Structure 1
Amino acid sequence: MGYRGSYGRVSAYLREKRTSPRPVTAQPPAPRVVTRWILSRPETLTEIEQIRLKAVLANCPELDALTDHVRSFAQMLTERQGERLPQWLDAVRQDDLPSLHTLAAGIDRDRDAVIAGLTLPWSSGVVEGHVNRIKMLKRQMFGRAGFALLRKRVLLAE
């Protein structure tokens, strides 16, 4: 009569757990997900994603400031507003975001080139793509054959 067996113990354990529910807490989004939300155009996010992003930004003022800077830079880039770069750099320096300070220092070293890249319609992207392709072929061929074979591969790899 006193023997309940393992089934009885499991049953009692489950009954106890069912009667004492734990509070449900929402799991925070993964950093990769938050990064995607920040880097996406706001109008492309679903309503739920926008609400969750607002909640994350409300709890972290540094992330909120970072989001403003990232979206402002993206607008400069897509709308070719390079003349706004000096104001953007000043705004970045005013916030306490060390990683953006490093980016701003790098941009400052080539300020004229960055402004031209953000303003002018011309791009060297096609040329850079070809250079990248040729370098890749050269790395693949390293130590295997001479210049004649490398030349053939470059000419035939279109």
Structure 2
Amino acid sequence: MTGVLILTGLEHLAGVTLFAPVAALLLSGVATRHPHDGQLDWIVIPLLRAMEYLYLLALGHGAGVPGPLVFVLLTAVVLHHCDAARRERYGARPSGWIMGAMLGWDGRMLLIAAGGAVGWLPFAYGLLAGYLAVLLVWEATTSWLATPVTTVANAPQNEHGGMAASEG
């Protein structure tokens, strides 16, 4: 649906039409209750993320939002996704409040669509980019401060007196 809107020209869209990709993605959310045990189910999350990135990029570009502002918003969203994926990989789940505060892909897209519907798209991009950046910096800072530091005396040494490589 986002591809069709891009091909038809986003600069001619108005109001409710901006919600079409968001509505399509929200309808796909119904399928999230499915157990995801199929052979190609792994592709669902990358597709949802790609649609969010494409929507934010296409809408910003088509509506004349300054390029640096679109870039900052996309960077904040991508960094959030990378942080969440890294934490999951290492068994350190992101805190529940930060995941809720980041609004989810559906919340971010709805907020941007609402900003476009009322004609405040550059303001919505700036507001969301600033909000997400503050949350990312806050979470990174508190995570780093809460991580215990290993002293050099407690770290395993190799035969040359340097730090031993981890086994594994």
Relative to the length of structure 2, the TM-score reads 0.30
Relative to the length of structure 1, the TM-score reads 0.31
Greater radius of gyration (CA): 1
